[in-house]
Chains A and B, each alone.
Chain A
Amino acid sequence: MNLATLSASYLRARPLQTALSLGLLALGVGTIVAALLAVSQLEARMGRDARGIDLVVGAKGSPMQLILSGIYHLDAPTGNIPLAAAQALEKNRLVKKAMPLALGDSWKGFRIVGTPKAYAEHYGAKLGSGRYYEKAMEAVVGSEVAARTGVGVGARFTGAHGLGGEGDEHAESPYTVVGVLEKTGSVLDRLVLTGIESVWQVHETAHEPADEEDRKAREGDREVTVLLIQYASPLAVATLPRAINSKSELQAASPAFETARLFRIVGAGVEALRAFAVVLILAAGLSVFIALYTALEERRYDLAVMRTLGASPGRLFGLLLFEGMLLSFIGALLGFILGHVFAAGLGAWLEAAQQPAVTGLAFRIEEIWVLATALAVGFVAALIPACRAYRTDVSRTLAQG
């Protein structure tokens, strides 16, 4: 017999009340923890994908769509821009690094990105096997693509038009896998990389050029989808986007600005979820309070008897307080498990949709604060019942029965 077992025996003696308090607290804490994990991991992941990219240049349209399609490969592109315009930008002295991407096709839902090798190197990718593409129609696949489809070096596949994987197949131009990348934890894992000329070739082979003149004309019409730019100097922030946006066919969007805007939109939903979770935790606190307070009535003889057995009023106070804290601690613990299970479930669901993954196995330091808050709620809820227990008048209580 000690404080913990005695407290626990009282909690077990009223299973329904205890279960209600635990359930409310676990749901509240679980919701907050899951939101915390999901948002922080998505933010980290999106930050990682956009690192080192200061500007995305593409066709006119929604700047957010440009970011979502150009960096995260989550949305359809806004359109294409002339290769000449992109090449002109690459030569701008305010541009340190520029990576053109040609988008439009996919394979089994994974996007095929026509781009120079520099794009993979930007994300610090290493080859797990094989080599980088050198010729047209050679491709390197990301680790997740390889894992999901089971392809390896030497495999052949044909891309489909569009991004959903349901478009017409370019059956006449199959790709050959020449390399598989190691896991980078970035968007690269979900991409199929190929030379930019492969993408052009796929879309041109449908109609063989009639003659040399036709071929030249086609080359002049060549396009890329987006250009990812890294600034050479901070000066570029003020001038480059404005210069680009003033050109009729181009649009420049800042990943930092657009992702911040995106998280403000998503953030409102997350805030609402958090507010709901706070209400749940407060309801749990109220439930702990009511459970302890109503139990006082039926426990007053127990408390008086404990006094006759030598317990000081302080020990009765401690007993009630400990009970409230024990309840909130167990509830918070269940909440943590629940929150991580929620996050893991969300991760599995997102992964099935080939979206950036969320894991339930990561922990955040902020979770400590959630635990502290839950314990504080238990403490406050138990305070008034504990004070009443402290003030038990033994002689009068026993005189009543």
Chain B
Amino acid sequence: MISVKNLEHRYGNSVVLRVADWTVGAGERSLVIGPSGSGKSTLLHILAGLARPSAGRVSVFQKDIFSLKKTQIDRWRGATVGIVLQALHLVSHLTVRANLRLAQYLAHLPQDDKAVDNTLAALGVADKASSRPAELSQGEQQRVAIARAVVNGPKLLLADEPTANLDDAAAARAIELLLGEAGRRAATLIVATHDARVKRHFEKKLELAQ
């Protein structure tokens, strides 16, 4: 279970995010919606331990992550959280396979080509393993980014605006892939978006105000 209480995050004097009380059960899928600037990305970063909230309590799978030491948070994130970024940010000079191995290496997990190939196959990009990101289509890059996020078998899958700049068909496919991967791995999925097309796929949601 993920629970957030009295969370507040400030940049300087301006409050960029405020969440009074929010819980997501293990294995559930939830949406974080709100206009841009409402702190959706910041909330995801906080859940991943990438940003420390100014105030409040954050517990992820019964763990008060911000009570951990910084390097422990990094290790915990590598093993527990998968993140799909809006701008994908695949490492451009590494092959698709090396991008996934990078995730295993940085998470201190054994580098397992079988897990890499299985993950790429599940996302339908097995034949692109030796390509570099620039040689892939936008849709293929999205699949690789999802593959990289899930290759370590995360219990928590976070996606930040996964459908931005995608047409309807591609947006639907991206959401299907995320739901499919989360379901297959029994992972908790939290998607931050301002895209109305995504809403119908989710029952639970947290709405953030400006």
Contacts and interface: CB of A to CB of B under 8 A. Distances in A.
A32 B51 CA distance: 49
A1 B102 contact: yes
Given A6-B105, A399-B41, A308 B48 contact: yes
Contact of A308 (B70, B79, B83): B83
A310 B74 contact: yes
Nearest to B83: A308
A309 interface: yes
Contact of A309 (B71, B98, B102, B111): B102
A307 B51 CA distance: 11
Interface in B7-23: none
Interface string A341-380: 0000000000000000000000000000000000000000
Given A308-B77, A309-B78, A312-B71, A2 B105 contact: yes
Nearest to A306: B106
- Consensus secondary structure, chain A interface: helix
Interface string B86-117: 01010111100010011111111001000000
Contacts of A308: 48, 50, 77, 83, 85
B78 A310 contact: yes
Interface stretch (A7-15, A73-81, A88-96): A7-15
A1 B151 CA distance: 15
A97 interface: no
A399 B9 CA distance: 15
Contacts of B98: 1, 9
Interface in B91-149: 91-94, 98, 101-108, 111, 148
B188 interface: no
Contact of A398 (B79, B85, B102, B104): B85
Nearest to B11: A396
Interface residues on B, range: 20 to 34
Nearest to A2: B105
Contacts of A305: 85, 89, 91
Nearest to B78: A310
B45 interface: yes
B73 to A, nearest CB: 9
B52 to A, nearest CB: 9
B42 interface: yes
Interface string B48-89: 101100000000000000000011001101110001010101
A368 B181 CA distance: 54
A315 interface: yes
18 contacts: A1-B98, A1-B102, A9-B93, A301-B87, A302-B89, A305-B89, A306-B106, A307-B50, A307-B74, A308-B50, A309-B148, A310-B107, A312-B75, A313-B70, A313-B74, A314-B71, A394-B51, A395-B45
Interface of B: 41-42, 45, 48, 50-51, 70-71, 74-75, 77-79, 83, 85, 87, 89, 91-94, 98, 101-108, 111, 148, 160
